[in-house]
Structure 1
Amino acid sequence: MKLSKAGAVAGVIVLALTVSGCGADNEAEQRKIAIGIKFDQPGIGLREDGKFSGFDVDVATYVAKELGYKPEQIEFKQVFSSDRELMLQFNEVKFVVASYSINDKRKAKVDFAGPYFVAHQDLLIRSTENEITKAEDLNRKRLCSVTGSTSAENVKAKLAPKAEMLELGGYSECLVALQDSTLDALTTDNSILAGYAARPENVGKFKLANLNLSNEFYGIGLKKGDKELQKKINDALGKMVKDGSWDKFVQQNFGAAQTAAAYRHEPAPQITEGR
């Protein structure tokens, strides 16, 4: 059968549109979003056997879903407390969900959405420790935190200026030193400490001092000036609380800590950033 010139042209157009549509579908499937999280905080952000778990991981996944990304389109990247701002400034990640306390010093470099969680600075001590019952007891004690943490700054500036402070790269390193009695206490947010205390291999070895030494409002960090993304993330966080997902994430990530470490979480905070 002879094909007319008009029919041939129509066929080419249809074929082009089909190929173009397939390309768009493939592009959508390949679209990725990079999110910064912690890799070494049980209950918050943990990478173990190639899998990710923790409250921040659940929050990040929920927010990404509201932005149009499926779980398989998420690329989790490890961030350390000292490099969260740099990761955002150099576009290494789209946003950071990594026990990231909102403060003015950080807001000079990045913007935040949220807050989505409230923690308090506390101490993790050996279960046999009875001498540390208040912040002042840390003076002349050996204390550990991580480089870039607001907890280390708070101790040195306000709580126990005579404490011997050791700042390491990660909390896991501090925990090893605490267990070996090289250090007397590990300080950071109670949510992070509770996660470590609730690990099966740590139950009975450590305890929380249960001192509310500060209020830490966790926010989602994003590149400064991206008000559109800030609004979208705030909307996602509000929906997460309203539909019950926030309570679900808290229970599945901190439930064990409530028993093992007598940990108690605060209610979901009001969103204030960008409002």
Structure 2
Amino acid sequence: MAGRRRPGRFGRRCAAAIAVLALAGSLAACGATPAYVGAPDGPTIAIGVAVDEPGVGWWHDGRFSGFDVTVARYVADALGYADKQIVFTPVTPQTASGLLGQGRADLLVSALPVGESGRFVDARDAGNGTGNDAGDEAGNRSGSVSASTAGPESDVPEDVRDGAEDAGSYLVAPQQLLVHRDDVRTMASMGSLAGKVVCTVLGSGGAAALTKALPGVVVRPRPSYPQCLTALMVGEADAVSADGAVLAGLARGYGGDYLGIVRRPLASVAHGVRVKAGNARLARKVNEALRAMRRDGSWARAVRTLEEETGYRVEAGLNGVG
């Protein structure tokens, strides 16, 4: 019986892998794509966002969308910039500090490693949240992991840690595993993960958190999430690790019915805003905007959209809501 199922499963995985490969090819051109559609009107603000995270930071059909992008637009508006004055540019953990240091971005709005010289200033205590309950037991038990706790084997580049100043976080999500749906139950136990190959994105800090939480796993970083997904689909990796919001978007956007998330939390990941190191004035203004987003209900509306588009349920305990 197992022999009969395997070809069908293999065929489905191949079909899904082809779809992911096609997507990866289209996203590879993102660096060459215009960072905005149409000509900006007046002074501009350049904002780095992810482009390969459906529902979170996503470039698709000629436009940027997702939870991070919604936050970026809100912050830009609070700083006095209209939509036509925003220049979005693709960012990855590897390119983050370069964008700020070289003046190609004024803000980074994404899930990025927490620096050794500081940590995200929480904006979550300033307003009421969504009132959601945590989706599982993960919420209150997840521990925050930063480059300072990751130790000397951290995969966060030194210039990423030192070249940016944290202006505030707007979402905290548990780091989890994305696997083939058939493997969700078996990979939920610690013992079953020994020797498994887990793909993370280079520079994200995910590798250090994984080796700390799961000493027996083999971590193989790749440059992007589409590449990690391809590795998962073709059998070069057993799982992909990122925060739950990103994984939910990847599963729904790329994986269809083939992928599922192991809900057990491994660490916590903060989505936040960063500015160039030394720009404390801008950092304060951004933090004020994030607090205002909580107070006026805009954050709660953005969370509902995130949940509708990805199926991810924001952890109440991690985000000060309830």
Identify the residue that residue 178 of structure 1 maps to in structure 2.
232
Say if 1:136 and 1:76 are closer, same or farther in 2 by CA, change over 3 A. farther
CA RMSD across the alignment: 1.9
Q: Do structure 1's residue 133 and structure 2's residue 182 form an aligned pair?
A: no
Runs of 4+ more than 6 Å apart: none
- Work out which of the residue numbers 134, 140, 150 in structure 1 matches 2:205: 150
Compute the displacement of 1:203 (Å). 2.7
**Structure 2 length as normaliser, TM-score?**
0.69
Conserved? CA contact 1:136–1:160, under 8 Å? no
* Counterpart-to-counterpart distance in 1, 2:235 and 2:60: 26
Tell me the secondary structure at the aligned position of residue 283 of structure 2: helix
Aligned partner of 2:315 among 258, 266, 273? 266
1:202 paired residue number: 255
Task: Write out per-residue CA displacement over residues 116-165 of structure 1, whole angstroms, 9 at most, x where no aligned residue.
Answer: 11111000010111321134532211111111111112113x12334222
Contact 1:55 1:250 (8 Å CA) reproduced: yes
Asked whether the equivalents of residues 101 and 219 of structure 1 are also in contact (C-alpha less than 8 Å), the reply is no
Q: Which residue of 1 aligns with 2:101?
A: 89
Residue aligning to 1:239: 292
Q: Residue 92 of structure 1 aligns to which amino acid in structure 2?
A: R
TM-score (norm 1): 0.80
Matches of residues 243-258 of structure 1 in structure 2 within 5 Å?
A: 243-258=296-311
Residue 30 of structure 1 deviates from its aligned partner by 2.4
User: In structure 1, what is the equivalent of residue 281 of structure 2?
Assistant: 228
- Identify the residue that residue 25 of structure 1 maps to in structure 2: none
Instruction: Give the deviation of 1:103 after TM superposition.
Output: 4.0
Q: Which amino acid aligns with 1:181?
A: G
Query: In structure 1, how many angstroms separate the alpha carbons of the residues matched to 2:237 and 2:294?
Result: 39
Identity level (%): 32
**d(CA) in 1 for partners of 2:202, 2:59:** 20
> Kindly tell me: are residues 269 and 107 of structure 1, through their superposed partners in 2, closer, same or farther at Cα, counting changes over 3 Å?
farther
CA contact (8 A) 2:213 2:267 kept: no
Shift of 1:94: 0.1
Which segment drifts farther, 172-181 or 33-42?
A: 172-181
Maintained 8 Å contact 1:120/1:212: yes
C-alpha distance in 2, partners of 1:202/1:40? 13
Alignment partner of 2:112 out of 96, 100, 104: 100
1:194 CA displacement = 0.6
Post-superposition CA distance 1:231-257 (Å, at most 9, x none)? 110111111111111011111122243
Counterpart residue number, 2:70: 58
The answer to which of 99-108 and 244-253 deviates more is 99-108
Structure 1 unaligned regions, length at least 5: 1-27, 271-275
Q: Which range moved further: 158-167 or 139-148?
A: 158-167
| Number of equivalences | 237
Rounded to whole Å, the distance in 2 between the matches of 1:225 and 1:137 is: 46
